[in-house]
Amino acid sequence: MGYRGKVNEQEKARALRADGRTLADIADVLGVAKSSVSLWVRDMNIEVRRRRPVGRRPNALHAAKLAEIEDCNRLGIERIGVLSDEAFLAAGAALYAGEGAKTTNEVEFANTDPAMVAFFCAWFRRFFAVDESKLRVRVYLHEGLDLDAAEAFWSAVTHVPRTQFRAAYRAKPDPSIRKAKHIYGCAYVRYASARTMREIMGLVRALLSSEAIPG
> What is the tens place of the pLDDT at every residue in 152-187?
999 999 999 999 999 999 887 666 655 556 889 999
pLDDT at 127: 97
- For residues 26 and 38, give the distance between their C-alpha atoms in angstroms, rounded to a whole number: 10
- The pLDDT of residue 2 is 44
The full set of domain ranges for the chain reads 3-80, 85-212
Reported as a pLDDT band with limits 50, 70 and 90, residue 130 is very high
Closest CA to 157 of 106, 96, 110: 110
Dump pLDDT digits (tens) for 1-18.
Answer: 444 446 778 878 888 887
For the cut 90, the answer to whether the pLDDT of residue 56 exceeds it is: no
Q: What is the mean pLDDT of residues 100-107?
A: 93
Residue 190's beta-bridge partner residues? 108, 136
Q: Where are the alpha helices (DSSP H) in 48-193?
A: 60-80, 85-99, 114-127, 147-158
Full-model pTM: 0.70
Residues whose CB is less than 8 angstroms from the CB of residue 45 and which lie 6 or more positions away in sequence, other chains included: 179, 180, 181, 182, 183
Q: Does the pLDDT of residue 150 top 60, yes or no?
A: yes
